[in-house]
Structure 1
Amino acid sequence: MKISTKGRYGLTIMIELAKKHGEGPISLKSIAQANELSEHYLEQLVAPLRNAGLVKSIRGAYGGYVLANEPSKITAGDIIRVLEGPITLVEGIEDEEPAKRELWIRIRDAIKTVLDNTTVEDLANHSGDVNESDAYMFYI
């Protein structure tokens, strides 16, 4: 499974809305400008998010978009499934030999676990600091 720009930019929209949650509607134009993205492309992505009940649109001069639920209740998995479809790693898994099928299922389930246990609130509150144990240092 490869996450396309649809999934990546959809997460961006939702993270930006989570950061401003409770402050009123946010325009796609401001999200596009802040992240150097195409406003037109974001408009295409927000429609399925709205249809899935993840965001609400507010009309008018001071309109825009707001999260339809608390940021802690919306997961990355919710967003990725709406924009990318079901989370699958390998097509035709039922035709694989049992050992390989088990591997693909375990990998798929691990990905689902991460996506379904990561909320938009988690992503919005992430400081961006890298833990030293996660960083690599190379010496020449």
Structure 2
Amino acid sequence: MRVSSKGEYSLRALIVLAKYSEKRLKVKEISEEILVPTPYLEKLLAQLKTLDYITSKRGMDGGFQLKKESSEIFIGEVIRKLEGPLAPMGCVSVTSYEACSLEPTCLLQPLWGLVRDTVADVLDATTLQDLLDQNIQMKGEKTDGFLR
């Protein structure tokens, strides 16, 4: 699995919208916060609207807002809808399985399956609100701002 700039910037836009959930934000406000050019961001916001994550309103008091509560938006779902399967290889994909001639004797397939499951478990358990609350636990012990 690889997250493209589309996925990264879309998640950043959702975070900003969640951060300021009490008001509608203009494209320019979001753009300035996440440092993404306005024309590119407009395309991403249009896709997020199509995917039913955000709403928009035109006019002076217009802008963009989250359509759901940030605690109801799961990162795994967003990434899958924007980027496709989470599996690192087609032979272990749940949604886009691709057969491989080496599969019966492949010693890597269990590893790729574990990677897929681990990534899916983390992303599927993480909400937009978790990101806002900085409720993500990295492996290892964090001291003085550094991961040890």
Q: Does 1:8 align with 2:46?
A: no
Change (3 A) 1:19 1:136: closer
The alpha-carbon distance between structure 1 residues 136 and 112, as it changes in their structure 2 partners (threshold 3 A), is closer
How far apart in 2 are the matches of 1:117 and 1:123?
11
User: What CA distance in whole angstroms lies between the structure 1 residues aligned with 2:117 and 2:135?
Assistant: 27
Of Structure 1 and Structure 2, which has the larger fraction of its residues in helix?
1
Alignment of 1:1-140 (within 5 A): 1-21=1-21, 23-93=22-92, 94-95=99-100, 96=103, 97-126=105-134, 131-132=142-143, 135=146
With over 3 angstroms needed to count, the CA separation of the structure-2 counterparts of 1:53 and 1:106, relative to structure 1, is same
| Superposition RMSD in Å | 2.3
Structure 1 gap segments, 5+ residues each: none
Q: How many residues align?
A: 135
Does the residue aligned with 1:56 lie in a helix, a strand or coil?
A: strand
Per-residue deviation at 1:136?
Answer: 5.0
Matched letter for residue 48 of structure 1: Q
Unaligned runs of 5+ in 2: 93-98
TM-score, with normalisation over the residues of structure 2? 0.81
Relative to the length of structure 1, the TM-score reads 0.85
Name which structure has the greater RCO, CA cutoff 8 Å, separation 6+: 1
Alignment partners' CA distance in 1, 2:2 and 2:127: 20
Contact 2:9/2:34 (<8 A) preserved: no
Distance between the aligned counterparts of 1:100 and 1:127, measured in 2?
A: 32
Tell me if structure 1 keeps the 8 A contact 2:16–2:33. Answer: no
Q: CA deviation at 1:98?
A: 4.8
Q: Is the 8 A contact 1:78 1:116 kept in 2?
A: yes
